[in-house]
Amino acid sequence: MARPFTPKVVTGNALLEGDVIYLTEDDTWTRDLSQAEVLTDEAHAQVRLLEAQGRPSEIVGAYLADVRLDDDGPEPAHFREAFRRTGPSNYFHGKQAERA
Predicted local distance difference test score (pLDDT) of residue 80 = 86
Q: What is the pLDDT of residues 39-75, one digit of tens each?
A: 999 999 999 999 999 999 999 999 999 999 988 889 9
Kindly report the pTM of this predicted structure.
Answer: 0.82
Predicted confidence band of residue 93 (pLDDT cuts 50, 70, 90) = low
Taking CA atoms, 59 is separated from 55, 69, 79, 84, 98, in Å, by 6, 25, 22, 15, 23
Percentage above 70 pLDDT, the chain: 86
Given a cut of 60, whether residue 94 has pLDDT beyond it is no
**Per-domain residue ranges for the chain?**
8-99
Q: From CA 31, how far away is CA 20, in angstroms rounded?
A: 6
